[in-house]
Amino acid sequence: MTGTFRINRRHALAGMGAAALSTSWRPLWAQSVAPITIVINQSPWFESFRRTVEQYEAETGNRVELDVNPFAGSLEKQRNSVRAASGQYDILIMNSGWFTEMYAGGFVTPITDIDPSFQLDPEVYTLGDTVYYNAEKRTVTADGKLMSIPVSPLIPMLYYRGDLYAEAGLQAPKTFAELEENARRFHEPPRRYGIVQRGARGPHTVAYDFYPYLYGHGGGIFRDQSSGDYTVTLNSPEGREALEYYIRLAREAGHPKTAAMDQAEVIQAMVTDNTAHIMMVIAAWSQMDDPNKSAVVDKVEWAPPPSLPGLPTAPGLGHWLAGIAHNVPDDRKRAAVEFLRWFQTKEAQLVTAEAGGIPVHAAVYREPIAEERRYRWMKPLAEALPHAVNIYQFPEASEVIAVLELGLNRAIAGEITAVDALNGMADEIHAIMAKHQYNTGQIERL
């Protein structure tokens, strides 16, 4: 259901609950500016964003309207608005799957083109430099212009049963070998599986969950996107090792219906004490300790995704960015800049954290809040975020994702071998990149 509602100063002050989230009130330093409209998706982190917006209005007196939609509905509205003569939305909340489309299409205005004095807070995570875009090189690199501000730095994390680990005298796994050993140890089907993985085909489902395994094994989809080299490397020996590991884990220590498991089923397995591990986006953290949903309250811990010895953790980005639409009046663009200037501060991000959201400012992870039991996920997340991988740097990514979704699902279901899946997907991805005239090629087949 699509919802549009206005949050104004009077409403925010009347309901002081959100404003009281802040540890301290700051001066009303932001200038009075035009009202703005933000188009956003209805996600688990939306409530924390809404409450942060309420704080902004309470502090500044500026007005913000939120147009709230399902995932696909938000993308459709953004595409329609940026292609109109005059845009309806001032700030676009863009997902990792489509922000390059907005950058490359010229649909968002660089923030420093609106206000040359604007500076990104040095402690805000740039998330694989995805806040920048170099139009000449067509790459997402730090030598480009500042296009957006991070809103929700979502990456997958390893969720594991801390109580079971404590009883067995184990530490959080850092390598894939350790994860496999521990998953086998706790595998007691059907009462409890060693691990439950996502294997279902969807818009960006099994592929997203496979990325930490692929990159954590030293593999990748392309040789070097940042330099414009789109040689397809998916079917490398490292890619084969990663996919065979994923499949082996599912078959020998996982759920028998992994190929049909989607995000909801994976989370459900964890909160019902039906698995010892899951690899899941961090946004699901609050469900683990919700007594109305969870049978494992206070028993789940978090760790960065494992990797091979000598390689860093490599979670794939599934984050959200806020960009300013190109086709709105200048006064609304300037108002949007003022909101983003405020939103990126440590104080604003503390409000986000206290409301249950995932902060984008590194300093928040060093605050006392990170020591509280409820927020025990914060330190592991802070450890993993600097290593997050931006999987796609081109606007046609959805075509590649569709290939991965089908091929990975078939391999996990046992319809084809890992080698056939990887070679077949590599061929299709190469054809896509060649069609769009990227500098591409292929490596030797497995």
pLDDT at 167 over 90: yes
What CATH number is associated with residue 355? 3.40.190.10
**Angle, nearest 10°, between helix axes 346-354 and 330-343?**
70
Model confidence band, residue 31 (pLDDT cutoffs 50, 70, 90): low
- Model confidence at 43, in pLDDT bands (50, 70, 90)? confident
Contacts of 160 (CB under 8 A, 6+ apart): 172, 173, 182, 276, 277, 300, 301, 302, 303
Task: Confirm if 408 and 207 have CB atoms less than 8 A apart.
Answer: yes
Do 98 and 138 belong together in one domain?
yes
Amino acid letter for position 82: V
- Asked if residue 117 is part of any domain, the answer here is yes
* Cβ neighbour number for residue 87 with a 10 Å cutoff: 22
* Residues 88 and 216 grouped into a single domain: no
Domain residues for the domain of 148 are 3-154+318-376
Whether residue 10 is predicted with pLDDT greater than 70 in this model: the reply is no
Same domain, 42 and 143: yes
- 259 and 348 assigned to the same domain: no
CB-count exposure of residue 225 (10 Å: 0-12, 13-18, 19+): buried
Backbone angles phi, psi at 68, to 5 degrees: -105, 130
Q: How far apart are CA 347 and CA 29, in angstroms?
A: 13
CA angle (438 as vertex; 436, 444 as ends), nearest 5: 115
Number of domains composing the chain: 2
pLDDT (mean) for 278-288? 95
Integer Cα distance of 341 and 118 in angstroms: 8
Residue 18 has φ and ψ, to the nearest 5°, of: -70, -40
Determine which helix (DSSP H) or strand (DSSP E) holds 91, and give its type and residue range. strand 91-95
* pLDDT tens-place string over residues 78-107: 999 999 999 999 999 999 988 999 999 999
* Residue 104 resides in a domain: yes
Question: Per the domain annotation, does 187 fall within a domain?
Answer: yes
**Mean of all residue pLDDT scores within the chain:** 93
Residue 382 lies in a domain: no
**Do the domain assignments include residue 386?**
no
Average pLDDT estimate for 228-253: 98
C-alpha 130/C-alpha 241 separation (Å) is 28
The residue out of 353, 376, 399 marking a domain boundary is: 376
What is the pLDDT, as a whole number, of residue 8? 36
Whether 168 and 251 map to the same domain: the answer is yes
**Same domain flag for 339 and 238:** no
* Residue 150 and residue 96 share a domain: yes
Query: Are residues 291 and 324 both part of a single domain?
Result: no
Share of the chain above pLDDT 90, in %: 89
* 229 and 198 co-located in one domain: yes
Give phi and psi for 420, each to the nearest 5.
Answer: -65, -40
Task: Tell me the mean pLDDT in the region 423-436.
Answer: 99
